[in-house]
Amino acid sequence: MKQTTQAYEQLIARFVAWAETQAGIRAALIVGSRAREDRPADEWSDLDVILLVAEPERYLAKTDWLENIGHPWITFIERTGTGDEKEHRVLFEGGLDVDFIPLPAKKMRSLARLLQTRERFPKTLSLLPRSLSKEAAQGIAAFSEVARRGVKVLVDKDGIAESLLAAITVAPAPNPPTQDKFLNLVNDFWYHAVWTAKKLRRGELWTAKGCSDSYMKWQLLRMIEWHARAKSSFEYDTWHGGRFLERWADPRIVDGLRDAFAHYDEDDLWRGLLATMDLFRWVAVETAELLEHAYPSSADEHATELVKGLSARRLE
């Protein structure tokens, strides 16, 4: 752990020394685990750096600038886990994993000024044209979502980062799902259970596994989040994307997940599908009771009967 931490600190020092000489880089901030106090970085954590720059596309399209920081082994572009930005993911020599998220400095400077004005005049956003007001609100929310768990400022040439950090908003507690939203998720899950069974009968193992162990698992995850919050409160922190699920979810669920994933094998895919259905059922039923929602038992019964029938007939 100590050796890994030192390697990242040395990489950060090289980055800061270089960034200070680059007119196009106006600010840089560390977010994520290496800036958090809650669930801080361990030896497996990566480094997430937000760049406020004049030309974001340059830091996505080019790789030559990375040589000023370290020796890149692997680089590629993907969408950020939160928000709708792009990030340049880099694996440097020694296995150091860094995500660079370049954002337009001009836009962020305008947002910082708007936030400063809003502090003095709270109704500022309502005075803007609807499109600008919506964009500003989304920008504030997106930055706050990333930054509220912790930020370390590395470079701040114009005070943009300081202004942005001063205006981080408190995360609003998510609302409990409405009856309609709850029913839609449950019906979606059971529909795809039947869909997966049909793909298995056709012999499309790849497609069936993709649905059972990916799409249906994301539906299951949403229900697990609702279950955890319904048991505690809707301010209960379930992180995002299943992060730290083993620490915040009901232990019965964690135990049930051991049987819910399958090997790339027809018989095991049937077993995993049925185990996933059993797990989803009791979590959803218990969540419905906690939220005082109706559970669509008929959808469950029809889907389960169809899936079990399709499974049984393959053995005839």
Q: What is the DSSP string of 89-154?
A: EEEETTTEEEEEEEEEHHHHHHHHHHHHHHHH-TTHHHHS-HHHHHHHHHHHHHHHHHHTT--EEE
User: Which domains does the chain possess?
Assistant: 2-166 (3.30.460.10), 179-313 (1.20.120.330)
> What is the structure's pLDDT at 259?
97
Q: Tokens 């886990």 appear where?
A: 81
> What is the structure's pLDDT at 238?
94
pTM over 0.75: yes
Contacts 24+ apart (CB under 8 A), 106-111: 106/54, 107/139, 108/27, 108/52, 108/160, 108/164, 109/26, 109/52, 109/158, 109/160, 111/136, 111/139, 111/140, 111/143, 111/164
> What is the structure's pLDDT at 136?
62
> What is the structure's pLDDT at 166?
78
> What is the structure's pLDDT at 1?
66
> What is the structure's pLDDT at 186?
98
> What is the structure's pLDDT at 171?
67
Q: How far apart are CA 84 and CA 200, in angstroms?
A: 35
pLDDT by residue for the chain (316 residues), tens only, comes to 678 889 999 999 999 999 999 999 999 999 999 998 888 888 899 999 999 999 999 999 999 999 999 999 999 999 987 667 899 999 999 999 999 999 999 988 887 777 666 656 666 656 656 666 566 666 666 777 777 888 999 999 999 998 888 777 666 778 999 999 999 999 999 999 999 999 999 999 999 999 999 999 999 999 999 999 999 999 999 998 999 999 999 999 999 999 999 999 999 999 999 999 999 999 999 999 999 999 999 999 999 999 999 999 887 7
Q: Tokens 């974001």 appear where?
A: 56
